[in-house]
Chains A and B, each alone.
Chain A
Amino acid sequence: MTWIVANWDQIARYGLQHVWLSVPPIVAGTALSIPLGQLANRYRLSRGVLLSIGGILYAIPSLPLFVLLPSLLGTRILDPLNVEVALTIYALALMLRATADALASVDGQVTLSATAVGYGGWRRFWGVELPLAGPVILAGVRVVSASTVSLVTVGSLIGVNSLGFFFLDGYQRYFPTEIWVGIVGTVVIAVVFDLLLVLAGRLLMPWARPSRRAGRATATLLGVEAEPS
């Protein structure tokens, strides 16, 4: 406990850095998954190819990727951009399938009716299909958020510091308290991100909240399983 108090400045600094390293890959991976997910649904071939690439990308071990990226991107070895790009690749690899499935799950009757009342293709995508895919996309973002927050720690091995620094340092010094600080801190960030995502979902998609009256029906209609409560 005294160690935590004594090192609070460093913990806070690395915690904040952890947050800053996590957010861009989650946002970029999700954003990129929207056009690519839509493309994946367009043709049978593009679906097979894109989803396979996504699966393979996710299989690349993170540490070699961090080490390899500087030579591919022309960045310095300690540049945080390497970690950001690598984590964006992983986020995209996970989100691609989630977004493709989310967009495919939108009720065909609703899109048909939107067309019938005069939605053009572009407007229908942004105004009807994407919002209705929202709950399933959000479920994917929650997974990606947790996975990214955890993967950021690996960056400490190549000198891009986050709370992961404390695992490494604590391990080298045989100092369990420091390791615990790293683990608990990472979990706290992941949980806070998750709560913020759920809250954002409630605010942006009030229609998806199961109501007392028709909750079950809504949830099934949206293709989302009701959350255990």
Chain B
Amino acid sequence: MIEFRQVSKRFPDGTLAVSGLDLVIPARQTTVFVGSSGSGKTTILRMINRMVDPSSGSILIDGNDIGGLEPVALRRSIGYVMQNSGLLPHRTVLDNIATVPLLRGAKRGTAREHARELMAVVGLDPNLAQRYPAQLSGGQQQRVGVARGLAADPNILLMDEPFGAVDPIVRAELQVELQRIQRELGKTIVFVTHDIDEAFLLGDQVALLRHGGILAQLGAPRELLDNPADEFVSGFIDAGRPRSILR
């Protein structure tokens, strides 16, 4: 369980990215932060592994304030998947997946063997093991990214618009795949997207943010659809629906 207590973040340039966020992210469920750019969703995600430290307030993981934890060790204990995969271009697929176990001091052979198993988990052809990221398609790169996020078997998986840069068909495939993985592994997933449909599809809980990192509504997808808190929420949901301009 991840807890935000009155968390605010003001960047040195004066931008208020997150203001007074109070929120609980339950364990073993998927919580999706959705909002347009400038809604602070990525900042919120990055505060969980201390890529960004809050200006005020505190964040607790399983009751421990992460402000007192060593950032590098904390990051190695949390999976991270980002847009455009963020893979290391000079490492093979296998070594990319094994990155975190290797950083934590695992033996190369063991880490690679485990990486091979993870390739199967995320549905990657084992023949791709020795390829470099640039030799893969966008969808394959994202699968490698997910496998890398899972490699150290973290309880928490942070996903920053992981499917934002792939075409709609591949995105749909990856979404289904993620749902399957989540059913099997039951991680605490924190997912960031600007796509409301993706949020409703993947989220057990959806946090809709308005500009400046203010929580507009938090709830299960059904609640947001049936009882939008205000016009901003209903407007955001409607804007995501395809308009019937074609006859």
Contacts and interface: CB of A to CB of B under 8 A. Distances in A.
Interface string A125-161: 0001001101000000000000000000000000000
A205 B90 CA distance: 7
Contacts of B135: 211, 213-214
Interface string B74-99: 01100010101011111100000001
Nearest to B83: A109
B103 A116 contact: no
A68 interface: no
Given A109-B84, A116-B51, A118-B76, A132 B134 contact: no
B206 interface: no
A207 interface: yes
B103 A119 contact: yes
A21 to B, nearest CB: 33
Contact of B103 (A117, A205, A208): A117
B73 interface: yes
A116 B80 contact: yes
B75 A117 contact: yes
Contacts of A116: 46, 49, 51, 75, 80, 82, 86
Interface string A188-209: 0000000000000000011110
Nearest to A132: B90
Interface in A97-128: 107, 109-110, 112-120, 123, 128
B134 A117 contact: no
A77 interface: no
Q: In which size bucket is the chain A interface?
A: 20 to 34
Interface core residue of B72, B100, B134 (most chain A CB under 10 Å): B134
Contact of A109 (B46, B80, B86, B103): B86
B132 interface: yes
A217 B80 contact: no
A214 to B, nearest CB: 5
B138 to A, nearest CB: 11
Nearest to B145: A113
A218 interface: yes
Tell me whether chain B's interface is mostly helix, strand or loop, or mixed.
mixed
A28 interface: no
A112 B91 CA distance: 16
Contacts of B75: 115-118
Given A112-B86, A132-B89, A207-B132, A117 B51 contact: no
Contact of A110 (B73, B80, B88, B104): B88
A118 B73 contact: yes
Nearest to A123: B103
A60 interface: no
A221 B134 contact: yes
A207 B51 CA distance: 28
B72 to A, nearest CB: 5
A123 B75 CA distance: 14
A168 interface: no
Interface in B27-50: 46, 49
B80 A114 contact: no
A117 B148 contact: yes
A183 interface: no
A222 interface: yes
B51 A218 contact: no
Given A116-B80, A117-B80, A128 B72 contact: no
Interface string B163-177: 000000000000000
A8 B107 CA distance: 54
Given A116-B51, A117-B76, A119-B72, 4 more contacts: A109-B86, A118-B100, A214-B134, A221-B89
CB-based closest 8 A-B pairs: A113-B86, A118-B76, A118-B75, A218-B134, A116-B80, A207-B132, A207-B90, A214-B134
14 contacts: A110-B86, A113-B80, A113-B88, A116-B82, A117-B75, A117-B99, A118-B72, A118-B73, A118-B76, A128-B88, A131-B90, A134-B90, A214-B135, A218-B132
